[in-house]
Structure 1
Amino acid sequence: MTTKNKHFLRGMATVNFFADDMIAARDWYAELFGLDAYFQMPSKDAPAYVEFRIGDSEDEFGIIDRRYAPDGMQAGPGGAILLWHVDDIEAAFSRLIALGAKEYDPITKRGETGFVTASVVDPFGNVLGIMHNPHYVAVLGKVA
């Protein structure tokens, strides 16, 4: 298979988190993002999947009822950490903690080039990473 694009991984299409209480998770993320989920299936009153479009590229952020998690998924935080760019990492981290998330990895400066990371565990057991990333800002500036 050949593609016109030279990159194998062309960009994040959707990130999926899991939750036992779908309505609480939907509402928590709606408060965090400042917008309602644009898609809820099978219904708003009993969702098994909800999705938000967030960020500069309207990235898809999905929440799936944990009953549909892959069989091998371990309980509790783990796996890869997707780091979302934020302009002010201290304010973003503080807001997450104020909304009930728990610190997973503290705010950490990564060298002297402006990269700073942190992560939390949301109230539903998922790791949410945040980062101030100068490369992201530079790439976004090229697109704008």
Structure 2
Amino acid sequence: MSQFLGLRSIIYGVSNIQEAKAWYTTLLEIEPYFEADAYVGFNVGGFELGLDPNARNVTSRADGVVAYWGVADIAAQVERINGLGARQHGEIVDVGEGILMASFLDPFGNVFGLIENPHFKLTDTHSD
């Protein structure tokens, strides 16, 4: 049995935590569950998206790693996110078997990925 329990947090470096909090609150359509001067955390379907002004220096390598957030209708979300001022980083691509992916650069320079995957289901990794 794997000791890895699955993805828990994605941390984005941001230059202005208040602007980033406002932008991500609009994007995600939820309020953060945690707010401090040095960190803002959102619970997105059981996973954490964190905003950290102290992580800004590591985002120069953002193109090397992309976190993909699941969506039910990628075309609708691409249209909506483009309207929020993000810059499209990668067009919608069908990677096979109906799995669609796209990505954006948020206003703070982070790559924000979307995936519509009809085959992926969350599994319970806890054994009692």
The reply to whether TM is greater than 0.5 is: yes
Partner residue of 2:52? 64
Specify which structure has the higher proportion of strand. 2
User: Deviating runs (4+, > 3 A) in structure 1?
Assistant: none
Query: Aligned Cα RMSD in Å?
Result: 1.9
Does 2:67 match 1:82? yes
TM superposition score normalised by structure 2: 0.88
| Amino acid paired to 1:62 | G
- Normalising by structure 1, we get a TM-score of 0.79
Question: Is the 1:76–1:126 contact (alpha carbons within 8 Å) kept by the matching residues of 2?
Answer: no
Number of matched residues?
A: 124
Q: Is the 8 A contact 2:59 2:110 kept in 1?
A: no
Deviation of 1:63 after TM superposition, in Å, equals: 0.3
Cα shift readout 1:84-136 (whole Å, capped 9, x = no counterpart): 1111000011111100100101001112x111100000001000000111222
In 1, distance between residues paired with 2:5 and 2:119? Answer: 16
Q: Which among 112, 119, 131 is matched to residue 115 of structure 2?
A: 131
Q: Percent identity?
A: 33
The verdict on how the C-alpha distance between 1:70 and 1:33 changes in structure 2, with shifts beyond 3 A counting, is closer
- Measure, in 2, the Cα distance between the counterparts of 1:98 and 1:40: 26
